[in-house]
Structure 1
Amino acid sequence: MLRGLTTVRFHTTDLESAKRWYTELLGIEPYFERPGYAEFRIGDYEHELGLLDSKYAGTLGAHGDGTIAGGPVIYWHVDDIRTTLDRLLSLGATPHEPIREFGEGFIAASVVDPFGNTLGIMQNRHYLDILSTTTR
């Protein structure tokens, strides 16, 4: 069901400083930016590292007990986001972020598992593009 890592999203209270710091660390500029968000492609498989302004994190959803989720959100590629989300919810996960389309083949959602962890799922065109270039 969870095919591979697509994106890790960190929250930051100072997006501009975080972008500068990660640019220095990684030696590259973000490949994608929009207000409140920046993303780098890194590593051998060009995994995505996203930086989200913390002021937007609270608008995306809360844990089942009403507290806002903290820490990173790790997104895994899935073949069918709606089926996967339904399965997660049937196993006791609670909604965190609703299904939303980012455009260009990127659709994501997240849940909070029964143990308080945020689990992201994503149909990710970039993951499939990279996968098609590798041999197993």
Structure 2
Amino acid sequence: MTDSANQGIKTVLHPVSDLAAAKPVYSALLGVPPLADEPYYVGFEVAGQHIGLVPGGAQQGMTAPVAYWQVPDIEAKLAEVTAAGAVVKEPAHDVGGGRLVATVTDPDGNVLGLLQDP
């Protein structure tokens, strides 16, 4: 395994237009209350996965849920996938606590997320 190998999909973010309306639906679906509950983001942990709700996601270019592949070195993986033909949509940036995220698009325009934990 190389340093840029992925560790699977562990995070899926869903764009929502009404966070207050979406939160109880996802709580009922997942069977757990949110661990993170802020006006800008609601996050759940279940079965080893993180499910997040992003209010106003559509205005940020999210038109569908985005799966985030867990990688140990986000810059190395970005270089690898762009060399293979992906296009950077959102460069790597810190979303808090040292967690880095980035998105790319594949040749068909599908959005793929990358996530590196500190």
| TM class, shorter-length | 0.7 to 0.9
* 2:51 counterpart (49, 52, 56): 49
Percentage of pairs with the same residue: 36
Letter in 1 for 2:59: G
Structural mapping, 1:89-108, within 5 Å: 89-108=82-101
Take 2:104 and 2:59, find their aligned partners in 1: how far apart are those partners? 14
Residue number in structure 1 paired with 2:71: 78
* 2:27 counterpart (14, 23, 31): 23
Take 2:22 and 2:62, find their aligned partners in 1: how far apart are those partners? 20
Gaps of 5+ in 2: none
Gaps of 5+ in 1: 60-67, 126-136
User: Runs in 1 of length 4+ with deviation above 4 angstroms?
Assistant: none
Take 2:58 and 2:77, find their aligned partners in 1: how far apart are those partners? 23
Aligned Cα RMSD in Å? 1.6
Classify the secondary structure of the residue corresponding to 1:79: coil
Residue number in structure 2 paired with 1:12: 16
Equivalent pair of 1:79/1:123 in contact (CA under 8 Å)? yes
Kindly provide the CA deviation profile for residues 104-136 of structure 1, in whole angstroms up to 9, marking residues without a partner as x: 3421101001121111111135xxxxxxxxxxx
2:108 aligned with 1:119, yes or no? no
Equivalent pair of 2:15/2:62 in contact (CA under 8 Å)? no
What is the TM-score when the length of structure 2 is the normalising length? 0.85
What is the TM-score when the length of structure 1 is the normalising length? 0.75
2:59 aligned with 1:58, yes or no? yes
Equivalent pair of 2:11/2:69 in contact (CA under 8 Å)? yes
